[in-house]
A and B are shown apart, each in its own frame.
Chain A
């Protein structure tokens, strides 16, 4: 077997690849067909609502995968992953704001909120954001650099466990307060919205939406395969060993700080990419994405789906967000109770999450 064939068989067995292929077929064939080819009004037509909802959930699933890498495999519980997601979203949002051009309410070169604040020019951090490549670079670099610097100090000072979680929570809260200020230059509490186009295409047409959906689907599958490749490598086994007995790993001669820093930074970058895909689909980004509750919710997705399984992260993000969009429409006032109850039930009765239940059920069959 060549190296590619061994890698393929190392990642998934035959059944795993078939399942993944079926998933890809639904995303890349069924969805475009039902949404674009089937005429509106037909019983099988898929409305924009569903395309956007599933696209949004896939962005969340990428975040959940990123979370599972650090929490499920390396034992680092982050309660600030929403920050990295929002930063990626803001980086993309800046570009989308500049794509509006003179079509804003004030018909100015500057975004409406800057006109409103009576600013005459873009602040320094908006430099070059009219270039897509530069914004794409920011999507990766800003969350990555922040995570690297934060992680470097936290891991070197051996900040661990609940202390680490609390600091990440404080970090995202501080960032939220910063972004709420108008002076920060990110539109204050309104954030960015009213996007008109992306890469020259009108952003609300069904075709553009489907393209964004497909790119998100590809990113999700790519993230899953990357994660799977990582955890199936010796690197992944070192990560799990760090989770179970970090001191022992150090005595084996591994510099655990570098390992944690690598997976932590990678995780933040993946969140940034997810945020950048999220913003053009939902059409808004504001500081509430950085609220502590949002980041805690990410951890709940992973716990519900099953920690340390990757598939579980995707399942968890799907189940919880599916339930959320149902409940917030049917019984809006009860959603938070449902979420809390779900978390308690999962912790008590399903410590391995949905995937754990399925595995147990399969083993006894």
Chain B
């Protein structure tokens, strides 16, 4: 599609809207761009996944709003990681649909395409490029044309250097920019990975146990960082650390055996008898 087309479509939509208010729902659909016009960034609907007979996800449905900070909790084996795998294209659901915004069907995209569309994921175990420097880690993660041809000739512009420096400041690694990433402390590795996510300028961040292994102070700083990011980004945080969840949570989703059993503010969820039975009460 030629780049000018969406604009023409928008003009057409505006013209129609002048005559007929009911036609105002017409808005341009730009391929590859996330359409957030309905206020939701992620829809999971009736997702089921099974591995060798084990039902990891059972008709899971979930909706994340734009700018939301959502916490997902649940006992081991509840399907939290599988849910992340489905969203990032690592696992294909047996049934159900998974949409990013209104128009991007995640079940039909590759992992790289999903990352490109604007979903960034932090893994449970920090996976950074251990033999590269901190700076290079961020450089590789940076949003850019990632085709082979562009990468062969790529040079960092001053603007890109500034962005890397800015992210280094945000994740408090400015002093370690030239260190080999494998030498960082566990907490610093987690932060570096969050920094790498931010370099991709994702619209949706998936964070799998981001504070595991962090010191209390690091955990606190991480919480501050997430609260600062919410609003401009949408975040989904999977965590076991209840103190941390309580500090940052606005809306909590509880998973159990592959489906959602409760959803709402922390206080409400904590008092839900079903939740107490399967999870908090233990």
**Chain A residues in contact with chain B, CB under 8 A?**
230, 233-235, 237-238, 240-241, 244-245, 247-256, 258-259, 262
Query: What residues of B have a CB within 8 angstroms of the CB of A234 in the complex?
Result: 139-140, 151-152, 154
Q: Tell me whether A253 and B127 are in contact in the complex, defined as CB-CB below 8 angstroms, given that A233-B151, A237-B132, A259-B148 are known contacts.
A: no
- Cβ–Cβ contact A233 & B148, under 8 A: no
| Stretch in B46-54, B57-65, B110-118 touching the partner | B110-118
**Chain B residues in contact with chain A, CB under 8 A?**
88, 110-112, 115-116, 120-121, 123, 127-132, 136, 139-141, 143, 146-148, 151-154, 196, 200
- Cβ–Cβ contact B154 & A233, under 8 A: yes
- Cβ–Cβ contact A245 & B127, under 8 A: yes
In the assembly, what is the distance between CA of A40 and CA of B140, in Å? 58
In the assembly, what is the distance between CA of A235 and CA of B151, in Å? 5
Query: What residues of B have a CB within 8 angstroms of the CB of A244 in the complex?
Result: 129-132
Among residues of A, the one whose C-beta sits closest to the C-beta of B141 is: A252
In the assembly, what is the distance between CA of A235 and CA of B136, in Å? 12
In the assembly, what is the distance between CA of A250 and CA of B128, in Å? 12
9 nearest A-B pairs in the assembled complex, by CB-CB distance:
A253-B115, A234-B154, A235-B151, A248-B127, A241-B129, A253-B116, A235-B152, A250-B111, A254-B146
Query: What residues of A have a CB within 8 angstroms of the CB of B143 in the complex?
Result: 253
Q: Tell me whether A238 and B151 are in contact in the complex, defined as CB-CB below 8 angstroms, given that A244-B129, A251-B115, A253-B115 are known contacts.
A: yes
Among residues of A, the one whose C-beta sits closest to the C-beta of B137 is: A241
**Which one of A240, A244, A250, A252 has the highest number of Cβ atoms from chain B below 10 Å of its Cβ?**
A252
Pairs across A and B, CB under 8 Å, 19 listed: A234-B139, A234-B140, A237-B136, A237-B140, A240-B131, A244-B129, A245-B130, A251-B111, A251-B121, A252-B140, A252-B146, A252-B196, A253-B112, A253-B115, A253-B200, A254-B112, A255-B112, A259-B148, A262-B148
- Cβ–Cβ contact A250 & B115, under 8 A: yes
Q: Tell me whether A240 and B139 are in contact in the complex, defined as CB-CB below 8 angstroms, given that A235-B151, A258-B148 are known contacts.
A: no
Query: What residues of A have a CB within 8 angstroms of the CB of B127 in the complex?
Result: 245, 247-248
A233-B152, A252-B115 provided; 12 other pairs, C-beta below 8 A?
A: A230-B152, A238-B151, A240-B129, A240-B132, A241-B129, A244-B129, A251-B112, A253-B112, A254-B112, A255-B147, A258-B148, A262-B148
In the assembly, what is the distance between CA of A253 and CA of B132, in Å? 18
In the assembly, what is the distance between CA of A244 and CA of B137, in Å? 12
Query: What residues of B have a CB within 8 angstroms of the CB of A238 in the complex?
Result: 140, 151
**Which one of A234, A238, A240, A241 has the highest number of Cβ atoms from chain B below 10 Å of its Cβ?**
A234
Query: What residues of B have a CB within 8 angstroms of the CB of A248 in the complex?
Result: 123, 127-129
B58: min CB distance to chain A, Å: 26
Of the candidates B88, B136, B152, B153, which one forms a contact with A251 in the assembled complex, judged by CB atoms under 8 Å apart? B88
Among residues of A, the one whose C-beta sits closest to the C-beta of B130 is: A244
Query: What residues of A have a CB within 8 angstroms of the CB of B141 in the complex?
Result: 252
Query: What residues of B have a CB within 8 angstroms of the CB of A240 in the complex?
Result: 129, 131-132
In the assembly, what is the distance between CA of A258 and CA of B148, in Å? 7
In the assembly, what is the distance between CA of A248 and CA of B140, in Å? 11
Among residues of B, the one whose C-beta sits closest to the C-beta of A308 is: B131
Query: What residues of B have a CB within 8 angstroms of the CB of A258 in the complex?
Result: 147-148
Query: What residues of B have a CB within 8 angstroms of the CB of A241 in the complex?
Result: 129, 132, 140
Among residues of B, the one whose C-beta sits closest to the C-beta of A242 is: B129
- Cβ–Cβ contact A255 & B146, under 8 A: yes
Query: What residues of B have a CB within 8 angstroms of the CB of A235 in the complex?
Result: 148, 151-152, 154
B88: min CB distance to chain A, Å: 7
In the assembly, what is the distance between CA of A254 and CA of B127, in Å? 16
Query: What residues of B have a CB within 8 angstroms of the CB of A233 in the complex?
Result: 151-154
In the assembly, what is the distance between CA of A253 and CA of B139, in Å? 13
In the assembly, what is the distance between CA of A258 and CA of B111, in Å? 14
Among residues of A, the one whose C-beta sits closest to the C-beta of B136 is: A237
Among residues of B, the one whose C-beta sits closest to the C-beta of A6 is: B155
A293: min CB distance to chain B, Å: 32
Q: Tell me whether A253 and B146 are in contact in the complex, defined as CB-CB below 8 angstroms, given that A234-B139, A237-B136, A240-B131 are known contacts.
A: yes
In the assembly, what is the distance between CA of A230 and CA of B148, in Å? 11
Q: Tell me whether A237 and B121 are in contact in the complex, defined as CB-CB below 8 angstroms, given that A250-B111, A250-B115, A255-B146 are known contacts.
A: no
In the assembly, what is the distance between CA of A233 and CA of B148, in Å? 11
Query: What residues of A have a CB within 8 angstroms of the CB of B120 in the complex?
Result: 251
In the assembly, what is the distance between CA of A254 and CA of B113, in Å? 9
Among residues of B, the one whose C-beta sits closest to the C-beta of A254 is: B146
A315: min CB distance to chain B, Å: 21
Query: What residues of A have a CB within 8 angstroms of the CB of B153 in the complex?
Result: 233
